[in-house]
Amino acid sequence: MSQPEAAQIRQLQIMVTALLFGAGAFLVIVAFLVITGEPRGDSGGLAPILLGAWAAVALGGLVAWPLIRNQQTALAAAALGDAGGQDDRVAACQRYSTSTIVGAALAEGTTLLAAAGGFATGHPALLGAGLLGIAAIILIFPSQQKFERFLERARGSTNRPR
């Protein structure tokens, strides 16, 4: 991996770590408040509505992120062309960065929605939903290996007949 790519992957790791810690810290604070009984509970049936909203947002993210990743892979393939030079790898790394940030942001959104719902209602199922968002961010976390797989997919799509 070239220096610009390594630096870009490192910056991406820092950004996704910040998303992870921000969402995680909020979720931990809300969990502490729920455990100590601070939100007095939901007397108006808000928890099922918020769980439904969380499920809709999470499902939207599960549908949108692979589409965005595929779009970015196609754009990386166009940048790679047939040459596969260093500058093209840097452009592909930028596409990888874009798709990773979008995926992590979608997961963070579901986490924050669940945490806010947990705070508003005191319902522990919303905290569990927030943990699923944290797990998604961890799964999306960027690495050199994941970038190389992304690059292989992009190169594979440049070799296909159009």
Chain segment 110-129, per-residue pLDDT in tens:
999 999 888 888 888 888 99
pLDDT in tens, 56-72: 999 999 999 999 999 99
Number of domains making up the chain:
1
Q: Per residue in 51-60, pLDDT tens?
A: 888 999 999 9
Residue 162 in any domain: the answer is no
pLDDT tens for residues 10-37?
A: 999 999 999 999 899 988 888 888 778 7
The answer to whether 108 and 134 have CB atoms below 8 angstroms apart is no
pLDDT band (50, 70, 90) for residue 1: low
Q: Flag whether 161 is in a domain.
A: no
Q: What is the DSSP letter of 36?
A: T
Token digits of residue 131: 């943990």
CB 30 within 8 A of CB 119: yes
User: Does 85 score more than 70 pLDDT?
Assistant: no
Do the domain assignments include residue 42?
Answer: no
133 vs 84: CA distance, rounded Å: 36
Is the residue at 43 inside a domain? no
User: Is residue 61 situated within a structural domain?
Assistant: yes
Residues 6+ apart with CB under 8 A from 62: none
CA dihedral angle for residue 100, residue 75, residue 8, residue 112, rounded to 10 degrees:
-20
Helix ranges (DSSP H) in 36-123: 46-80, 86-121
Interior angle at CA 121, CA 120 and CA 127, nearest 5: 95
Asked if residue 56 belongs to a domain, the reply is yes
- With respect to residue 114, please indicate whether it lies within any of the assigned structural domains: yes
- For residue 149, the enclosing domain spans 3-36+49-156
Domain membership flag for residue 140? yes
Among 21-35, 73-87, 135-149, where is mean pLDDT lowest?
Answer: 73-87
